[in-house]
Structure 1
Amino acid sequence: MTANDALVTFRGVQKTYDGTSLVVRDLNLDIQRGEFLSLLGPSGSGKTTTLMMLAGFESPTAGEISLGGVPITRTPPHKRNFGMVFQNYALFPHMTVADNIAYPLTVRKLGQSEREAKVKRALDMVQMGAMGARFPAQLSGGQQQRVALARALVFDPQLVLMDEPLGALDKQLREHMQIELKALHRRLGVTFVYVTHDQAEALTMSDRVAVFSDGRIQQIDRVDCLYETPVNRFVASFVGDNAVLDATVHTTTGEHCEVRMPNGALLRGVNVNRANVGDRVQCSVRPERIELAEAGSANTLPGQVMDVIYFGDHLRLRCQMGAEAEVMVKLALNHPAVPTPGHTVHLHAPPQHMRVYL
């Protein structure tokens, strides 16, 4: 997709609250029409400030935000016509569910019959058709979240902004709502921009994810690319689990390099940041990519099994690699030879899945 297809563009956007430290630094971002984009990052990384600038609740210190090619940096929030869903739902407690959902339509002065038809459609959309007469206090957290979502969608916005909307729900309900939200997005084709610090949530729901750290986007990519090919140490460590080992670059050949481990072993991997011979680096492998191998196999290190942990759908081996960090290995429940604690195992990291970072 090109920038011309983008619904929203950020160009050179910065934000500071105190005039010295930048919360958002030189942000350039294209949000495509109809996509589900998640802004993912730890607290203080700039993701929520970015969403609030898009919503109009915060103003950029520098740069320009455009909608469909038209600058909206100085357009007030109520004229941007975006749906918004907050973590705390922000429902009016004295209004019924139907009146809460109708509120954006009332503000826009729609007639009663059109209002009622749109509210009914929005209630059905979130599977709460029979609950229009109830009050928020009579609803569970998950039901209140559905009402907040229906209110954000009822006036057919071209963009829906969500700030950690599932954060207050318990794990099972949150996972259920993730699947429902994704299905709803696919059905409606509306552009969703979703802020979260939960990487599993971002991977489950999004078409693309922008990973924030220190006010910058570290990587923006499709979820599979983000998980399989992180561009730096931060993204590798923040998105998913990793086995991480320190090493020194021994040789380099094109996109690959050979690294020397503290025990003298040589391993081969992808030289992500073009490290040079002698550079100290971190080697990163996803736990599900590590295989149990025979002693002496290529790209293999010995480790001692400290623990075997049952995770329901898989097993994890906690292994001590010499004097270095512990490494987690994922194994299928039906793995033919699960070692027991105290045993020495030989862990093979396939070169194409071992990523070497400066």
Structure 2
Amino acid sequence: MTQEPLVRFQRVQKTYDGEQLVVRQLDLDIHRGEFLSLLGPSGSGKTTTLMMLAGFESPTSGDILLDGRHITGTPPHRRHFGMVFQNYALFPHLSVGQNVAYPLTVRKVPKDEQRRRVQRALEMVQLRGMDDRLPGRLSGGQQQRVALARALVFEPQLVLMDEPLGALDKQLREHMQIELKELHRQLGVTFVYVTHDQGEALTMSDRVAVFNEGVIQQLDTVEQLYERPANRFVAGFVGDNTVLKGVLRSAGNCAEMALPDGRVLTGLNVSGAAAGAEVEACIRPERVVLERQVEASGPGVLEAEVARVIYFGDHLRLLCTMGGGQADATVKLPLSGLQGAAPPQGGERVWLRFPIDHVRIYAA
């Protein structure tokens, strides 16, 4: 028998003005112990969904269940969820230890037990020995750790995070992503994490719900989300893509599309477009195969010219002019793949092979 989800959204809608739905007909199950990210652009409904789960916003219609119990009308302080915000929300006049102990104080936990739990929480986030410092004397990364310790100290079954790493610099943000994921692995607590950063979502999550215009466009594992985007929005929002436009020549799961200059490309007809429909073919830059030595031929091989070469440390990123009114194609070329050969240069004539299994065709 399938285990009951920890949280279930049932037909949840949210509007602030009575007309425009910020969240439309949301059905979402959150599993116990998973790291679920809510990903999407500004205004997509992801933060509103988190705020409804936290209890700071109420659904206009629909229900939210926790362990099978309705919590739609339960106030935030009675939901017992840990919460971490982007601005940390620490009390500046309280020490680190007092900040972390605050949720225990309001729950009237005995002082001895408070001290034990605070020390354990600070050790979890590698802030042992900093109990007496004030937040103003800590770095941004340390303040974020204090906020995380405070969210974990009362041992909640659910931790909600609203873009908690957004204020950190890139290097520290990436370091904290790894630490958060490791902490999640150790504790087994359910994390629900809001972000607009697709790299962040892919790095940490077990599953990702991609939001746009109040609707979940795709809910999947990070691998499925990246390799098999369900629609054109997900393909464009998650990861880089080379996009070619044309008209579908044949229907079916594996279909041919004609580019405006007559060249033909074959791929997977994801959206089930009909023959004659205007379509867009998307492929990840690392899946495009670069041919240099001799003129290549065969299905899915298109001639191009290298317009620009960008050095990324572990790989080169080539922008290739496709002609025929198409946007430039992006190709990721690992430096190890050069095998001692000179890297491609601007103006060089090349042939790009688009493997059928990695070309996904969507209705335009």
TM-score by length of 1: 0.98
Corresponding position: 1:327 with 2:326: no
Equivalent residue, structure 1, for 2:353? 348
* SS of residue matched to 1:251: coil
Question: 1:313 & 1:94 partners in 2: Cα distance?
Answer: 46
What one-letter code is carried by the residue in structure 2 that aligns with 1:341? G
Partner of 1:248: 247
Measured against aligned partners, the alpha-carbon deviations of 1:202-251 in whole angstroms (never above 9, x if no partner) come to: 00000000000000000000000000000000000000000001011111
- The offset of 1:118, in angstroms, is 0.3
Deviations 1:309-351 (A, max 9, x none): 0001110101111031011100011333532100111101100
Aligned to 1:311: 312
Give, as a single letter, the amino acid of the residue that structure 2 aligns with 1:239: V
2:192 corresponds to? 193
How far off its partner does 1:117 sit?
Answer: 0.2
Q: Which amino acid in 2 is paired with 1:143?
A: Q
Corresponding position of 2:158: 159
2:170 matched residue in structure 1 = 171
SS at match of 2:337: coil
Distance 1:244 1:192 in 2: 34
Q: How many angstroms apart in 2 are the aligned matches of 1:91 and 1:194?
A: 19
Aligned partner of 1:284 in structure 2 is 282
CA offset at residue 252 of structure 1?
Answer: 2.5
In 2, distance between residues paired with 1:341 and 1:297? 25
The alpha-carbon deviation at position 16 of structure 1 amounts to 0.2
User: What SS does the aligned partner of 1:264 have?
Assistant: coil
Q: Describe the SS at the equivalent of 1:57.
A: coil
TM-fit CA distance, 1:292: 1.2
Once the two structures are superposed, residues 20-70 of structure 1 have per-residue CA deviations (whole angstroms, 9 ceiling, x without a partner) of: 000000000000000000000000000000000000000000000000000
Give how far 1:130 is off: 1.2
After superposing the two structures, state which structure 1 stretch, 285-294 or 233-242, moved more. Answer: 285-294
Shift of 1:297: 3.0
Matching residue of 1:50: 49
Task: Please give the per-residue CA displacement for 1:68-116, whole angstroms capped at 9, x wherever unaligned.
Answer: 0000000000000000000000000000000000000000001100000
- CA deviation map 1:275-319 (0-9, x unaligned): 111000000000000001343232011111111100011101011
SS at match of 2:261: coil
In 2: Cα distance, 1:55 partner to 1:111 partner: 26
The CA distance in 1 between the partners of 2:20 and 2:9, in whole Å, is: 20
Residue in 1 that maps onto 2:59: 60
Alignment of 1:119-130 (within 5 A): 119-130=118-129
Moved beyond 6 Å, runs of 4+: none
C-alpha distance in structure 2 between counterparts of 1:64 and 1:302, whole Å: 54
User: Following superposition of structure 1 onto structure 2, how do residues 109-128 of structure 1 map, counting pairs within 5 Å?
Assistant: 109-128=108-127
Provide the identity percentage: 65
Matched residue SS, 1:45: coil
The 2-side partners of 1:156 and 1:117 are apart by 13
- Aligned counterpart, 2:102: 103
Instruction: Return 109-118 or 316-325, whichever deviates more.
Output: 316-325
1-structure distance, mates of 2:329, 2:299:
18
**Residue number in structure 2 paired with 1:29:** 28
For residues 283 and 320 of structure 2, the distance between their equivalents in structure 1, rounded to whole angstroms, comes to 14
Amino acid of the residue matched to residue 260 of structure 1? A
Paired letter, 2:201 = A
C-alpha separation between the residues in 1 aligned to 2:159 and 2:349?
52
- Provide the rounded CA distance (Å) in 1 between the counterparts of 2:106 and 2:349: 68
Code of the residue aligned with 2:360 in structure 1: it is: R
Per the alignment, in what secondary structure is the counterpart of residue 127 of structure 1?
Answer: coil
Cα RMSD of the aligned pairs, angstroms, is: 0.9
Structure 1 unaligned runs (5+)? none
Look up the SS of the partner of 1:335 in the other structure.
helix
Which structure 2 residues correspond to residues 199-210 of structure 1 after superposition, within 5 A?
199-210=198-209
- 1:14 aligns with 13
Shift in Å, 1:195 = 0.1
Give, in whole Å, the separation in 2 of the partners of 1:335 and 1:101.
Answer: 50
Query: Which residue matches 2:146?
Result: 147
Whole-angstrom distance in 2 between the partners of 1:334 and 1:281: 35
* C-alpha distance in structure 2 between counterparts of 1:106 and 1:151, whole Å: 11
Match of 1:269 in 2: 267
Aligned-partner residue type, residue 83 of structure 1? G
What is the number of equivalent residue pairs in this alignment? Answer: 356
Q: TM-score, normalised by structure 2?
A: 0.96
Report the secondary structure of 2:29's partner residue: strand
SS at match of 1:262: coil
Q: Unaligned regions of 5+ residues in structure 2, if any?
A: none
Greater Cα shift, 291-300 or 15-24: 291-300
Deviation string 1:132-168 (CA, Å, 9 cap, x unpaired) is: 1100000000000000000000000000000000000
SS in 2 for 1:54: helix
